Amino acid sequence: MEQSSASTRSIPSAIILEILAKLPLKSVVRFRCVSKFCNSSVITPSFVKSHTTRFPIKPIGLLITCSSRLQSGQMFFYADYNGGSAVPLLTVPPRFSRYTTKSLNGLLCLDFGICAQICNPSTRQAITLPFVVPVSSPSASSTYFCVNSFGFDPVTKQHKVLNSWKVPGKDPEYRVFTLGTDESWRLVKGGPCYYSQRESICIGGIIYFRCWTSTCKSSRAVLVAFDVGKETFQVIQIPDEISVDDKNSTDLIAFAGNPAIVSYDDEDSSLLIVWTVEDSIWYKNGLVMPSDLQELEDEQAQLYYVAGSIRSTGELILAPRRVSNRYFSVLYYDIGKNVFRRVEISGLPDYGHQFNDFSCIDTVTVSNFEENILSFT
pLDDT at 159 (0 to 100): 96
Q: What is the DSSP letter of 208?
A: E
Domain membership flag for residue 112:
yes
Give the distance, in angstroms, between the CA of residue 269 and the centroid of all CA atoms in the same chain.
26
- In this structure, the answer to whether residues 171 and 289 fall within a common structural domain is yes
Both 271 and 349 in one domain: the answer is yes
Q: At what angle do helices 45-54 and 13-21 cross, to 10 degrees?
A: 40
Tens digit of each residue's pLDDT (9 = 90 or more) over 216-248? 666 788 999 999 999 999 999 998 888 655 545
Q: Are residues 97 and 186 in the same domain?
A: yes
- Both 262 and 326 in a single domain? yes
Same domain, 40 and 65: no
- In a domain? residue 7: no
- Tell whether 29 is covered by a domain: yes
Residue 209 domain boundaries = 57-369
Q: Do 35 and 79 share a domain, yes or no?
A: no
Running DSSP on this structure, what letter comes out for residue 178?
E
- Which of these, 173, 146, 174, lies nearest to 160 by C-alpha position? 174
The angle formed by the CA atoms of residues 187, 192 and 195, to the nearest 5 degrees, is 95
Predicted local distance difference test score (pLDDT) of residue 144: 63
Question: Which residue positions in the chain have pLDDT lower than 50?
Answer: 1-2, 4-8, 247, 352-360
Residue 249 lies in a domain: yes
The amino acid at 353: H
Q: Is 314 left (phi over 0), alpha (psi -120 to 50) or beta?
A: left
Q: Where is 14: in which H helix or E strand?
A: helix 13-21
Q: Which residues make Cβ contacts (< 8 Å) with residue 258, sequence separation at least 6?
A: 203, 276, 277, 278
CATH number, residue 216: 2.120.10.80
Collect all residues with Cβ–Cβ distance below 8 Å to 87 and sequence separation of at least 6.
77, 78, 79, 347
Q: Distance from first CA to last CA of the chain, Å, rounded? A: 45
Q: 118 and 41, same structural domain? A: no
Residue 376 inside a domain? The answer is no
pLDDT at 327: 81
| Same domain, yes or no: 23 and 85 | no
148 and 23 in a common domain: no
Shared-domain flag, residues 195 and 339: yes
DSSP string, 246-298: SGGGEEEEEETTEEEEEEE-SS-TTEEEEEEEETTEEEEEEEE--HHHHHHHH
pLDDT of residue 151: 98
Claim to verify: residue 161 and residue 297 sit in the same structural domain:
yes
DSSP 276-287: EEETTEEEEEEE
> Rounded distance, CA 65 to CA 4, Å?
54
Q: H or E segment at 173?
A: strand 173-178
d(CA 292, CA 306): 15
**Residue 197's pLDDT is what?**
87
Provide the domain count of the chain: 2
Query: Residue 2 domain-assigned?
Result: no
Tell me the C-alpha to C-alpha distance, in Å, between residue 239 and each of 222, 223, 256, 284: 9, 10, 20, 10
Both 103 and 19 in one domain: the answer is: no
Q: Write down the pLDDT at residue 1.
A: 44
Q: Taking a C-beta distance cutoff of 8 angstroms, is the pair 365, 74 a contact? A: no
Determine, yes or no, domain membership for 375: no
| Residue 105 belongs to some domain of the structure | yes
* The predicted structure's pLDDT at residue 71: 56
